């Protein structure tokens, strides 16, 4: 039926779904999972009980947030009350920074609509590769074009033509770019000239001619990781690609493109140093995570100290459950897990700081 409550999001559209449910589902999480306190309803708050019931939800559809308004109707019934609380908007991570694609063949590429950068073109991205050359990006017009490529192991080139003849800006490096490490490229072109910078190397600039054409007119598809001729394709990874400040969703396009895979491997080789205090870098498709299990620290980068101060005569006691005995009817999964457990050795890791000796640090007792 007609929903009696809804919320309003970023674009002033009304939404009748609640956290954990799907857009337009008109259900709370319990309705989607089929465990509401009254099976006739799709939210606990709809049950009409004499005691307070609640639905705790998390809204995570980023394109709909933040919540700007909540509407609750059906408030005219006698002895009926309703209440709600709205928590803070929490943002985590960077959707575009880790958005990446792996190009596995020289003939593979991603294509997008033509780049509209007639008077201003600002392109930035990260790449890593082990090959000596390849085209990162190309977009053609009838005579105009724009292209960024790894022309040699130590050379990145930004070339374009707005009707005045081809123009090139090149950055050369004393060390190779094909070292399988992330490198950052930023290419800009406007009516005054063009520039190219790679990593922290000196920026190279090329002024525009005093008299001539200024509009970059492109009418074909934008190719990422390849060219229209399917030659000189790029082998490696491209990440966080932005054109005039707009991020391209490489991962989404890569999921339906042969020869291209969403995500990149090997982030720990570049960002593993972010894990502090003995934390171990773990690979994710989108970035890295720090495993702090063997560290006396916690937090995203194992930098938050986990500690307690013990005054003279104070202590802390933990009670561990005894190891269970397998029955004859135990499942094969439980049996296999039991075989992996050894009682002959345990490893304990701790850090301490004190000015008094001797001091008891740890004691086990039956």
pLDDT for residue 21: 57
103 or 364, greater pLDDT: 103
CATH of the domain at 154: 2.60.120.200
123, part of any domain: yes
How does pLDDT run across 349-358, given as a tens digit for each residue? Answer: 777 888 888 8
pLDDT for residue 92: 67
In terms of domains, do 131 and 61 share one?
A: no
**pLDDT at 186 > cutoff 80:** yes
Cα separations in angstroms, 149 against 137, 190, 365 = 7, 19, 66
297, part of any domain: no
135, part of any domain: yes
pLDDT for residue 343: 57
pLDDT for residue 344: 63
SS3 track for the chain:
CCCCEEEECCCCCEECCCCCCCCCCCCCHHHHHCCCCCCCCCCHHHCCCCCCCCCCCCCCCHHHCCCCEEEECCCCCCCCCCCCCCCCCCCCCCCCCCCEEEECCCCCCEEECCCCCCCCEEEEEEEECCCCCEEEEEEECCCCEEEEEEEECCEEEEEEECCCCCEEEEEECCCCCCCCCCEEEEEEEECCEEEEEECCCCCEEEECCCCCCCCCCCCCCEEECCCCCCCCECCEEEEEEEECCEECCHHHHHCCCCCEEECCCCCHHHHHHHCCCCCEEEEECCEEEEECCCCCEECCCCCEECCCCCCCCCCCCCCCCCCCCCCCCCCHHHHHHHHCCCCCCCCCCCCCCCCCCCCCCCCCCC
Burial state string for 240-253 with b = 16 or more CB within 10 A and e = fewer than 16: bbbbeeeebbbbeb
Q: Which of 44-53, 193-202, 249-258, 303-312 has the lowest mean pLDDT?
A: 44-53
pLDDT over 70, % of the chain:
87
Other C-beta atoms lying within 10 Å of the C-beta of residue 352: 10
How does pLDDT run across 26-69, given as a tens digit for each residue? Answer: 777 787 778 888 888 878 777 778 888 887 777 777 778 888 88
- Return the residue matching tokens 């309703």: 82
**pLDDT at 255 > cutoff 60:** yes
Q: Which of 236, 262, 288 is the last residue of a domain?
A: 262
In terms of domains, do 86 and 138 share one?
A: no
112, part of any domain: yes
Q: How confident is the model at residue 333 (pLDDT cuts 50, 70, 90)?
A: very low
35, part of any domain: yes
- Return the residue matching tokens 């609380």: 85
In terms of domains, do 66 and 171 share one?
A: no
pLDDT for residue 359: 83
* Highest-confidence segment of 240-249, 276-285, 317-326: 240-249
**pLDDT at 336 > cutoff 70:** no
The tally of domains found in the chain comes to: 2
How does pLDDT run across 153-167, given as a tens digit for each residue? Answer: 999 999 999 999 999
In terms of domains, do 217 and 170 share one?
A: yes
In terms of domains, do 76 and 107 share one?
A: no
306 or 3, greater pLDDT: 306
pLDDT for residue 326: 45
In terms of domains, do 216 and 132 share one?
A: yes
**pLDDT at 185 > cutoff 90:** yes
pLDDT for residue 324: 46
In terms of domains, do 34 and 136 share one?
A: no
Q: Which of 221, 245, 262 is the last residue of a domain?
A: 262
Compute the half-sphere exposure of residue 86: CA atoms within 13 Å on the CB side of its CA: 12
pLDDT for residue 273: 86
338, part of any domain: no
pLDDT over 90, % of the chain:
40
In terms of domains, do 64 and 112 share one?
A: no
pLDDT, the chain, mean: 84
Other C-beta atoms lying within 10 Å of the C-beta of residue 84: 11
Average pLDDT over every residue of 352-365:
82
* Highest-confidence segment of 105-109, 154-158, 277-281, 335-339: 154-158
In terms of domains, do 73 and 124 share one?
A: no
pLDDT for residue 322: 55
pTM: 0.61
Q: Which of 200, 228, 262 is the last residue of a domain?
A: 262
In terms of domains, do 109 and 258 share one?
A: yes
147, part of any domain: yes
275, part of any domain: no
CA distance 138 to 83: 56
How does pLDDT run across 89-143, given as a tens digit for each residue? Answer: 777 666 778 899 999 998 999 999 999 999 999 999 999 999 999 999 999 999 9
In terms of domains, do 28 and 111 share one?
A: no
In terms of domains, do 8 and 111 share one?
A: no
Cα separations in angstroms, 235 against 62, 98, 106, 232, 258 = 32, 18, 6, 9, 14
Domain of residue 229: give its range.
Answer: 100-262
62 or 277, greater pLDDT: 277
């Amino acid at each position: 039926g007609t929903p009696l409550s809804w919320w309003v999001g970023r674009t002033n559209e009304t939404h009748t779904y609640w956290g954990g449910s799907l857009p337009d589902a008109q259900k709370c999480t319990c309705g989607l999972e089929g465990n509401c306190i009254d099976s006739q309803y799709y939210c606990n708050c709809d049950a009409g009980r004499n005691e307070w019931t609640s639905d705790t939800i998390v809204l995570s559809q980023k394109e709909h947030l933040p919540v700007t308004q909540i509407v609750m109707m059906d408030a005219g019934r006698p002895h009926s009350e309703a209440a709600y609380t709205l928590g803070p908007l929490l943002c985590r991570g960077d959707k575009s920074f880790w958005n990446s694609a792996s190009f596995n063949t020289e003939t593979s590429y991603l294509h997008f609509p033509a780049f509209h950068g007639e008077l201003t073109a600002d392109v930035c991205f990260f790449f890593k590769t082990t090959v000596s050359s390849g085209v990162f990006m190309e977009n053609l017009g009838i005579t105009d074009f724009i292209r960024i490529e790894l022309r040699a192991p130590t050379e990145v080139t930004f070339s374009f033509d707005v009707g005045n003849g081809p123009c090139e800006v090149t950055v050369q490096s004393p060390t190779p770019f094909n070292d399988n490490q992330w490198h950052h490229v930023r290419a800009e072109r406007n009516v005054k000239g063009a520039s190219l910078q790679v990593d922290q190397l000196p920026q190279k600039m090329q002024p525009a001619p005093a008299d001539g054409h200024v509009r970059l007119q492109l009418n074909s598809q934008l190719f990422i990781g390849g060219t229209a001729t399917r030659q000189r394709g790029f082998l490696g990874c491209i990440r966080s690609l932005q054109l005039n400040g707009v991020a391209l969703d490489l991962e989404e396009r890569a999921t339906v493109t042969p020869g291209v895979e969403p995500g990149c491997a090997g982030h720990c080789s570049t960002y593993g140093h972010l894990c502090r205090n003995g934390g171990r870098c773990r690979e994710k498709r989108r970035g890295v995570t720090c495993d702090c299990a063997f560290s006396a620290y916690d937090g995203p980068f194992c930098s938050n100290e986990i500690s307690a101060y013990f005054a003279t005569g104070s202590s802390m006691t933990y009670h561990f459950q005894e190891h269970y005995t397998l029955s004859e009817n135990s499942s094969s999964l439980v049996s296999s897990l039991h075989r992996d457990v050894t009682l002959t050795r345990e490893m304990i890791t701790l850090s301490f700081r004190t000015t008094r000796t001797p001091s008891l640090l740890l004691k086990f007792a039956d």
